[in-house]
């Protein structure tokens, strides 16, 4: 598992956390009404319209897809929002950071975050919690020198202090100590230590037309290998894995409350997980470095107002008013939002090199013209 000597998987920078929004304007033929968990098209006369523009977003665009990867997704109860995760693992199932995409038809927004240990929406889909992955690798030693955490602490302090030099200096000293205390092994074959930084993004307040999340990044809350929600607005941060495996559970949890300014200090520590809100993830096939997924299989998804079909290695979208199906792109569809704006799929890797997975997880964005 090749890595540079200093592997800082830090997507707290705005360039690594993106909100993309198309500049399309509302159209009469996109009107919908939502009843319960299904969405139906309002009655109208079909009229010809211009073909949409389709944009492909790879869920992992910069990081490693690993030796294998699990694919999972969630749809909101109204099917207008979707969370897609590609969760890779390294040799011997060592942890690798995930890529996630949250897409919302309500906000016409697509949030793409890489280098994540875990992610989960709140039960009411008002918040998206995620744990940012930070990793350091030993330099031909069996230990991580204390000073190696300095650059990481400096970056986090600068983001949190927002220009206050005195506060930034204090934060850096505190963060260096906290990073060392809350780090955990992330490999059974090499000397690598990781840390999780917990965050919560307010989904129903995403600015329509926003280009990044620079102004909405919360205060850093270190110690987050896993994230789960209790029934309500309380967030549980799993402190460290019980073993150095990608699917390892957390051994204890810190409870915090999200707010517009970030996360509260820890209000309680627990080990009992029985109060966690259930997450009904849909699971896709496991992606493996040694074999490609058969994307030529036939599949039909009745998303709500839209219908998505996979056949012959391509994905087609039919919406009310479409005289013919829209060719979305290559791949096998997994899920779609109600009006077909966002389609999760497995697709052939565009620039595959040797020893890389031939199939990747993508989200197609279908933008009306």
pLDDT computed for residue 191 by the predictor: 84
pLDDT computed for residue 92 by the predictor: 85
92's torsion region: left (phi>0), alpha (psi -120 to 50) or beta? left
Burial call 244-258: b when 16+ CB within 10 Å, e when fewer: bebebebeebbbbeb
Are 136 and 6 a contacting pair, CB within 8 Å? yes
H or E element at residue 262: strand 262-263
pTM > 0.75: yes
pLDDT computed for residue 14 by the predictor: 36
**Helices marked H in the chain — which ranges?**
150-161, 165-182
Instruction: Say how far apart CA 281 and CA 356 lie, in whole Å.
Output: 26
Instruction: Say how far apart CA 186 and CA 225 lie, in whole Å.
Output: 11
pLDDT computed for residue 142 by the predictor: 66
pLDDT computed for residue 207 by the predictor: 73
Q: How far is CA 103 from CA 77, 154, 314, in A?
A: 14, 32, 22
Beta bridge partners of 86: 71, 99
Three-state DSSP at 171 gives helix
Burial call 138-158: b when 16+ CB within 10 Å, e when fewer: beeeeebeeebbeebbbbbbe
pLDDT computed for residue 20 by the predictor: 54
Nearest alpha-carbon partner for 340 in 311, 313, 316, 310: 316
**Residue-by-residue pLDDT tens, the chain, 369 positions:** 444 333 443 443 333 455 554 444 333 333 333 333 334 444 444 455 788 999 999 999 888 899 999 999 999 999 999 999 999 999 888 999 999 999 999 999 999 999 999 999 999 999 999 999 999 987 666 677 878 889 989 988 888 887 889 999 999 999 999 999 999 989 877 788 999 999 999 998 887 755 445 444 545 788 899 999 998 889 999 998 988 899 999 989 999 999 876 889 999 999 999 999 999 999 999 999 988 899 999 999 999 999 999 999 999 999 998 999 999 999 999 999 999 999 999 999 987 777 788 999 999 999 988
Q: How far is CA 152 from CA 94, 134, 159, 170, 295, in A?
A: 22, 8, 11, 14, 41
pLDDT computed for residue 17 by the predictor: 54
| Torsion of the alpha carbons at 73, 79, 80 and 85, rounded to the nearest 10 | 0
- Close Cβ partners of 271 (under 8 Å, ≥ 6 residues apart): 251, 252, 253
pLDDT computed for residue 140 by the predictor: 63
Q: How far is CA 195 from CA 155, 161, 292, in A?
A: 14, 20, 32
Nearest alpha-carbon partner for 243 in 289, 188, 288: 188
What are the residue boundaries of the structural domains of the chain, listed by start? 14-144+183-367
Query: DSSP class of residue 244?
Result: S
């Amino acid at each position: 598992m090749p890595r540079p000597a200093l592997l800082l998987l830090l997507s707290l920078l705005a360039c690594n956390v993106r909100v993309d929004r198309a500049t399309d304007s509302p159209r009469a033929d996109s009107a919908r009404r939502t009843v319960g968990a299904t969405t139906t098209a309002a009655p109208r006369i079909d009229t010809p319209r211009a073909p949409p523009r389709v944009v492909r977003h790879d869920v992992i665009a910069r990081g490693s897809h690993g030796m294998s990867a699990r694919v999972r997704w969630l749809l909101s109860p109204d099917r207008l929002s979707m969370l897609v995760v590609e969760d890779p693992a390294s040799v011997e199932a060592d942890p690798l950071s995930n890529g996630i995409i949250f897409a919302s038809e309500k906000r016409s927004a697509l949030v793409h975050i890489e280098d994540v240990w875990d992610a989960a929406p709140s039960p009411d889909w008002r918040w998206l919690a995620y744990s940012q992955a930070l990793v350091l690798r030993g330099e031909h030693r069996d230990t991580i020198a204390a000073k190696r955490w300095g650059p990481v602490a400096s970056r986090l302090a600068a983001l949190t202090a927002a220009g206050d030099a005195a506060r930034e200096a204090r934060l850096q000293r505190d963060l260096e100590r906290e990073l060392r205390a809350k780090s955990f092994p992330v490999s059974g074959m090499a000397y690598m230590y990781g840390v999780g930084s917990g965050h919560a993004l307010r989904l129903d307040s995403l600015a329509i037309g926003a280009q990044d999340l620079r102004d909405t990044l919360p205060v850093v809350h270190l110690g987050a290998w896993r994230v789960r929600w209790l029934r309500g607005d309380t967030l549980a941060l799993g402190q460290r894995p019980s073993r150095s495996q990608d699917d390892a559970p957390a051994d204890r949890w810190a409870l915090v409350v999200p707010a517009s300014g970030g996360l509260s200090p820890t209000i309680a520590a627990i080990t009992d997980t029985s109060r966690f809100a259930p997450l009904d993830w849909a699971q896709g096939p496991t992606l493996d470095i040694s074999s490609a997924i058969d994307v030529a299989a036939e599949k039909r998804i009745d998303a709500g107002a839209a219908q998505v079909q996979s056949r012959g290695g391509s994905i087609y979208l039919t919406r009310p008013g479409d005289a013919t199906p829209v060719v979305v792109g290559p791949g096998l569809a997994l899920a779609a939002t109600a009006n077909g704006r966002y389609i999760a799929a497995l697709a052939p890797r565009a620039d595959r090199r040797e020893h890389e997975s031939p199939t990747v997880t993508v989200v197609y964005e279908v933008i009306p013209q």
